[in-house]
């Protein structure tokens, strides 16, 4: 019983601690990492015009992927998420944007201490997920 009570207190403390954080990376967080890069190589398509008809619509809206961010990520972990998102922005035509009510498909970026990195991200309608935890909450793992 004591363990259950202690665990409940820790969970409640975490919820209160992170309750004020938005469920997306803020412009201030992106500004804080400006200039930092992670070595992911070149992900650019050589012939984007031709390839985009196979993968992405030529519409900018179709190249955007909406996401939510688990509020239990720490400030340092949020920086890692921001670095990963920025890496995609720098190297591809994909743009991650915060989920809004009208978005029909999105990725929930979740903090799960029981996994290193697990994702179910396909072209589906509705929520999809990417989970990161432990020592694997790093931009390199996320990319």
- Strands across the sheet containing 126-132: 95-98, 64-69, 105-111, 126-132, 117-120
Domain 23-142 has CATH 3.40.390.10: yes
- Partners of residue 108 on adjacent β-strands: 68, 129
Structure tokens, 3:
């363990």
Which parts of the chain sit beneath pLDDT 70? 1-20, 37-62, 123
| Tokens standing for residue 123 | 């072209």
Phi, psi of 69 (to 5 degrees): -125, 125
Structure tokens at 23: 């469920």
pTM value surpassing 0.95? no
DSSP of 6-73, one letter per residue?
HHHHHHHHHHHHHTTS-SS--HHHHHHHTT----------TTHHHHHHHSS-SSGGGGEEEEEE-TTS
Domain ranges of the chain: 23-142
- Pairwise CA distance, residues 48 & 29, whole Å: 30
């Amino acid at each position: 019983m004591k363990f259950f009570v202690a665990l409940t207190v820790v969970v409640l403390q975490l919820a209160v601690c992170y309750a004020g954080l938005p469920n997306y990376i803020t412009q201030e967080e992106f500004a804080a990492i400006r200039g930092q890069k992670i070595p992911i190589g070149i992900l650019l398509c050589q012939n984007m015009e031709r390839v985009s008809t196979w993968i992405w619509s030529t519409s900018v809206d179709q190249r955007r992927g909406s996401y939510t961010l688990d509020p239990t990520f720490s400030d340092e972990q949020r920086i890692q998420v921001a670095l990963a998102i920025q890496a995609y922005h720098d190297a591809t035509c994909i743009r991650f944007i915060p989920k809004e009510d009208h978005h029909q498909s999105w990725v929930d970026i979740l903090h799960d201490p029981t996994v290193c990195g697990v994702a179910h991200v396909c072209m589906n309608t509705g929520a999809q997920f990417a989970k990161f935890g432990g020592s694997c909450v790093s931009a390199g793992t996320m990319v």
